[in-house]
Amino acid sequence: MSEDTATDMEANTEEKKKKWFGINKNLIMLKLTLFFLYGATSSLVPYLTIHMQSIGLTMEQIALIYLSLPFTTFLAPQQLVIWLINSADINQ
C-alpha cells in the first residue's frame, strides 16, 4: 500500500511541474513582441547619447533627459487615461 501511495504522490508532483513549467500558447505573440521591442530599444539607446551630443546638447542636459525618462514612462499612462476620460465627458 505504501508503494502505491508513493507512486501516486510522484505522479501528482510531476503533473504540478508540468502545469508550472508549461508554455502558455496564448501569450507567445505577446512575448515575441516584447522581446523584439526591448531588443530594438536596447540596441539604440547607446547611440542616443551620441546623437544628443551631435545636435548640441550638453552632458548636463542629456543627464536631465535620462533622469526624466523613468518618471515620464511611469506617469504617461495615467495622464493618458485622465485625458481620455475628460475628453469622453466633453463629447457626451
Per-residue pLDDT of the chain (92 residues; tens, 9 = 90+): 555 565 666 666 666 666 667 788 899 999 999 999 999 988 988 899 999 999 999 999 999 999 998 888 888 888 888 888 888 777 66
Indicate whether 37 and 65 sit together in one domain. no
Indicate whether 64 and 92 sit together in one domain. yes
Specify the number of domains making up the chain. 2
Domain assignment present for residue 13? The answer is: no
Indicate whether 80 and 50 sit together in one domain. no
Domain assignment present for residue 52? The answer is: yes
Q: At what angle do helices 59-91 and 28-54 cross, to 10 degrees?
A: 130
pLDDT at 48: 92
Domain assignment present for residue 90? The answer is: yes
Domain assignment present for residue 2? The answer is: no
Identify the domain containing residue 72 by its residue range: 58-92
Query: How much is the pTM?
Result: 0.52
pLDDT at 46: 85
Contact criterion met (CB below 8 Å) for 52 and 65 = yes
